[in-house]
């Protein structure tokens, strides 16, 4: 039997959340449900408030929160494909702006405190998430490696990040688990700012690139692609953490063609 033990409060109801491992190609796609990998901000809904996966509050407008059910949900605040920075800009504000939040939808993919299989939890989500600012993420069973490849290509052509795969019959595990896998062409990693490189040409007199260290490996590199005029004029502080996106790692472990995505200060 499914039960919901939600108690709305003033802190995140989850000490940790389910995190994905990478798709290796050795798994049987027929064992999984697939959905679009959304380029949004992970958010836990406790029945009255939003929280980041590390327990930071997201201050959504009251009208946005009023449209959601009184149950713990796991999903992403999503402004659309290629709109990640807009989403971050909205959720990181202490005082929310209605105009920003009207562009956002809470895309729900799990209900952590509903006891049951993934299929049972999806059934619960489809029944209870029906407000104007929230939607259940569409899940479909995968058939084969060819089916997965076709779905991945189709989503990438539409500008999506990739595909999430959820093992059939799986439970919600508050850890990084092989029951949840991600398939995408690019990789995202966190890097810590260690210094600045001055700009040249049209960027003379302002920031040209951040000098950063890849967290985990300690590899050092520079990232300037993707910086906005705002960041070049008023750089993030040394010691801050950013998200960088890249195609692959060189044999030396350096990200190839790194692009600045966002300051990692919203989680």
Which has the higher per-residue pLDDT, 264 or 18?
Answer: 18
Mean pLDDT of all residues in the chain? 91
pLDDT at res. 130: 83
| Count of CB atoms situated within 10 Å of the CB of 96 | 16
pLDDT at res. 3: 52
Which has the higher per-residue pLDDT, 83 or 186?
Answer: 83
Of 219, 261, 267, residue with least CA distance to 243: 261
Confidence of residue 1 (pLDDT cuts 50, 70, 90): very low
Average pLDDT over residues 1-27: 76
Cβ contact 47:72 at 8 Å: yes
Read off the pLDDT of residues 114-150 as tens digits, 9 standing for 90 and up: 999 999 999 999 999 988 999 999 999 999 999 999 9
Which token pair is 223?
Answer: 């990232």
pTM over cut 0.85? no
Which token pair is 55?
Answer: 């327990």
| CATH numbers and ranges of domains, the chain | 19-184 (3.30.470.30), 187-263 (2.40.50.140)
Which token pair is 163?
Answer: 């595909």
| Count of CB atoms situated within 10 Å of the CB of 130 | 13
Using DSSP's 3-state secondary structure scheme, residue 29 falls into: helix
């Amino acid at each position: 039997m499914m039960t919901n033990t939600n108690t709305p409060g003033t802190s995140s109801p989850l000490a940790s959340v389910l995190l994905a491992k990478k798709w290796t190609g050795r798994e049987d796609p027929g064992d999984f449900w697939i959905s679009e990998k959304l380029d949004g901000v992970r958010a836990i809904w406790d029945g009255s408030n939003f929280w980041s996966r590390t327990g930071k509050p997201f201050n959504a407008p009251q009208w946005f929160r009023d449209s959601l059910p009184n149950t713990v949900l796991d999903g992403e605040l999503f402004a659309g494909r290629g709109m990640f920075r807009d989403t971050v800009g909205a959720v990181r504000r202490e005082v929310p702006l209605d105009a920003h939040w009207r562009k956002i939808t809470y895309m729900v993919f799990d209900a952590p405190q509903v006891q049951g299989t993934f299929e049972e939890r999806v059934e619960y989500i489809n029944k209870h998430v029906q407000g104007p600012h929230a939607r259940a993420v569409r899940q479909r069973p995968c058939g084969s490696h060819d089916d997965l490849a076709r779905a991945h290509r189709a989503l990438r052509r539409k500008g999506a990040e990739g595909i999430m795969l959820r093992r059939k019959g799986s439970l919600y595990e508050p850890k990084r688990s092989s029951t949840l896998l991600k398939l995408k062409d690019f990789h995202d990693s966190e890097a810590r700012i260690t210094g600045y490189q001055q700009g040249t040409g049209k960027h003379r007199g302002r920031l040209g690139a951040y000098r950063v260290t890849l967290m985990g490996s300690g590899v050092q590199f520079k990232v300037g692609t993707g910086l906005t005029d705002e960041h070049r004029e008023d750089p993030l502080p040394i010691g801050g953490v950013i998200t960088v996106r890249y195609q692959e790692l060189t044999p030396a472990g350096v990200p190839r063609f790194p692009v600045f995505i966002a300051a990692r200060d919203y989680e």
